Amino acid sequence: MSSTWKPGVALGGLILLVTSAVAVIHVSAQSGSQGVAARQVTFTKDVAPILQRACQNCHRPGSMAPMSLLTYEDVRPWARSINQKVSNREMPPWFIERHVGIQKFKNDPSLSDDEIALIGKWVDAGAPMGNPADMPAPRQFSDQNKWVMGTPDVIIKMPKPYKLDATGPDNFVNVLVDPGFKEDVYVSAIETKPLGNGFRVIHHATTQMVEDDSDSSGVFFNEYAIGKEADIFPPNAGRLIKAGSKVLWNLHLHPDGEATDVQVEMALKVFPKGQQPKYVEFTQHMGDMSDLDLPGSTVTRTDGYFRLPKPAMITAFQPHMHAVGGAMCIEALYPDVRADSARPGAARTDTINCVSHFNFGWSTTYPYAEEVAPLLPTGTVIHVTAWSDNSPSNKFLQTDPRNWIGSGQRTIDGMAFAWMSLFYLDEADYQERIKVRQATASTQNQQ
Ligand code: HEC
């Protein structure tokens, strides 16, 4: 089924968006397996550095993943399974389509094609250890009990722990807390952490701000998953918490054999009272598709749209779908503002990103590297295309694929929209940033 939603390679007009991403692809194609061809691939020299960077955050003793991948002895029994998970791109959990759209993100743990090929070669050669002297120094992990952002101004905590049983199915828990915000507050950094052993069992913890009773699911505020540290906004950018907002946490918990008290806390750095940042960074739904009509045993495509009322910089994307979610792409449809583009035919468009194998278990947010974050003019339409997979090939489906599914709030109901983080800019600021990008793009082209 997956091949039906593979989007075409949209290289067309992507100059502003992906020039530097293309450069990155070239760099990674040159590193990696070249030069390794002549000698044997070994754990200590080739594989351990990859696991340190991309896996050990979760795969180490006491962390959330089922096994440690620190030493050769830890890794050897898993060699085949690792090969399979990385070549299917199920691990690390990062589901951005790699041949379409922007490829440069903050904190991207994903493996290059070369790294995956290297792991394959190593496994094919019998997963040899190699020379112990080649083993890189162990990776140091940040202290679970320390705030990476520095000393917070405000800490909001779950009033009491949620008791997770030792065994059983995954638990999805909502916790609503009133932190008592009496006036609007602008936040410059956010960091969410589980207390104690909670990080072993927390798949994700998302925070929504419930601003009023009319929208009980609230506005997206922050997401924690293991290894995720602080969201520190660019200088002069902040996120608004409206007076009276309540914090709604959604916890996805995975029992790991030991009963665990789960409690999270969230730390904030805030702008001084009365000071408002130049850019207000916020996250909203785009392209909500209501009234999904998803026949059984079928992949159904739906489309949603959002028109930008002002020039905007998109800072992050997160597809939101439920168990029936299959894939999502976001695309920019530009307004025809240039005199020379008043031509018949299709509008100028760029595919921003696609997630082709949506994985209901992981609510991964994809934060753009600043220099490639989509910078879009007034009137651009964000086109969100979703594919809901109500067929037997969707292994996350919790219902019989012969059943019809409609829209709804439950995880077994259909839902599809994009969480987009963005800030608006004024026209002069937008034009200035476009100039800087064009200048950077042309120097890169000359190299
Ligand atoms: C963000 C945390 C995280 C990262 C990063 C991560 N894993 Fe995992 N991994 C998990 C969790 C949790 C599971 C078990 C649940 C699941 O499969 O989603 C898992 C499962 C696995 C499994 C299957 C284990 C089994 O019981 O069959 C393998 C193999 C694996 N990971 C290898 C890797 C490799 C190799 C990397 C790095 C290239 C990696 N993982 C990166 C969290 C992570």
Q: Whose CA is nearest to atom 11 of ligand 1?
A: 65
144: left (phi over 0), alpha (psi -120 to 50) or beta: alpha
Q: Across residues 225-229, what is the average pLDDT?
A: 74
Confidence of residue 337 (pLDDT cuts 50, 70, 90): low
Q: Whose CA is nearest to atom 3 of ligand 1?
A: 58
| 154-278 and 282-437 in the same fold | yes
Distance between Cα 55 and ligand 1 center (Å): 7
Q: Whose CA is nearest to atom 25 of ligand 1?
A: 66
Decide which of 414 and 196 is more confident. Answer: 414
Determine whether domain 154-278 maps to CATH 2.60.120.230: yes
| Closest ligand 1 atom, residue 226 Cα | 1
Decide which of 214 and 278 is more confident. Answer: 278
Q: In the chain, pLDDT over 70 holds for what percent of residues?
A: 88
Give the pLDDT confidence score for residue 38 in this predicted structure.
67
Compute φ and ψ for 370, nearest 5 degrees: -55, -40
Give the pLDDT confidence score for residue 365 in this predicted structure.
86
Q: Across residues 176-205, what is the average pLDDT?
A: 91
Lowest pLDDT segment from 89-103, 215-229, 268-282, 403-417: 215-229
Q: Which residue has the tokens 């392209």?
A: 287
Distance between Cα 86 and ligand 1 center (Å): 9
Give the pLDDT confidence score for residue 446 in this predicted structure.
60
In this structure, the strands spanning 325-333 and 381-390 are antiparallel
| Closest ligand 1 atom, residue 119 Cα | 35
Q: Whose CA is nearest to atom 28 of ligand 1?
A: 82
SS3 content of the chain, % helix, strand, coil (to 5): 20, 30, 50
Give the pLDDT confidence score for residue 135 in this predicted structure.
97
Q: In the chain, pLDDT over 90 holds for what percent of residues?
A: 65
| Closest ligand 1 atom, residue 361 Cα | 18
Question: Which of 25-29, 47-51, 277-281 reaches the highest mean pLDDT?
Answer: 47-51
Q: Across residues 275-281, what is the average pLDDT?
A: 93
| Closest ligand 1 atom, residue 54 Cα | 37
- Of 231, 220, 228, the residue nearest 187 (C-alpha): 231
Determine the residue of 46, 85, 204 to mutate for testing ligand 1's pocket, defined as the one with the most ligand atoms within 8 A of the Cβ atom: 85
Distance between Cα 237 and ligand 1 center (Å): 34
Give the pLDDT confidence score for residue 104 in this predicted structure.
96
- Of 66, 25, 32, the residue nearest 49 (C-alpha): 32
Give the pLDDT confidence score for residue 37 in this predicted structure.
61
pLDDT at 304 > cutoff 80: yes
Angle between helices 15-30 and 427-446 (to 10 degrees): 40
Determine the residue of 50, 58, 112, 170 to mutate for testing ligand 1's pocket, defined as the one with the most ligand atoms within 8 A of the Cβ atom: 58
Q: SS3 sequence, 421-442?
A: EEEECCHHHHHHHHHHHHHHHH
Tell me which amino acid residue 244 is: G
DSSP symbol at 48: H
- Domain spans of the chain, in order of start: 7-134, 154-278, 282-437
Q: What is the pLDDT of residues 139-164, one digit of tens each?
A: 998 777 778 888 999 999 999 999 99
Lowest pLDDT segment from 126-130, 357-361, 369-373: 357-361
Q: What is the distance between the alpha carbons of residues 359 and 89, in angstroms, rounded to a whole number?
A: 11
pLDDT at 384 > cutoff 70: yes
| Closest ligand 1 atom, residue 57 Cα | 5
Confidence of residue 2 (pLDDT cuts 50, 70, 90): very low
CATH assignment of 282-437, among 2.60.120.230, 2.30.30.40, 1.10.760.10, 2.40.420.20:
2.60.120.230
Confidence of residue 228 (pLDDT cuts 50, 70, 90): confident
Q: What is the pLDDT of residues 235-255, one digit of tens each?
A: 889 999 999 999 999 998 988
pLDDT at 423 > cutoff 60: yes
Distance between Cα 69 and ligand 1 center (Å): 10
Determine the residue of 72, 91, 95, 108 to mutate for testing ligand 1's pocket, defined as the one with the most ligand atoms within 8 A of the Cβ atom: 91
Average confidence score pLDDT of the chain = 87
In this structure, the residues whose C-beta lies within 6 A of any atom of ligand 1 are: 54-55, 57-59, 64-66, 78, 81-82, 85-86, 91-93, 109, 111, 225-227, 361
Decide which of 114 and 17 is more confident. Answer: 114
Distance between Cα 73 and ligand 1 center (Å): 17
pLDDT at 21 > cutoff 90: no
Report the DSSP beta bridge partners of residue 155. 267
Lowest pLDDT segment from 9-23, 267-281, 294-308, 406-420: 9-23
Q: What is the pLDDT of residues 48-84, one digit of tens each?
A: 999 999 999 889 987 778 899 999 999 999 999 999 9
Query: Model-level pTM?
Result: 0.84
223 contacts 264 by C-beta, under 8 angstroms: no
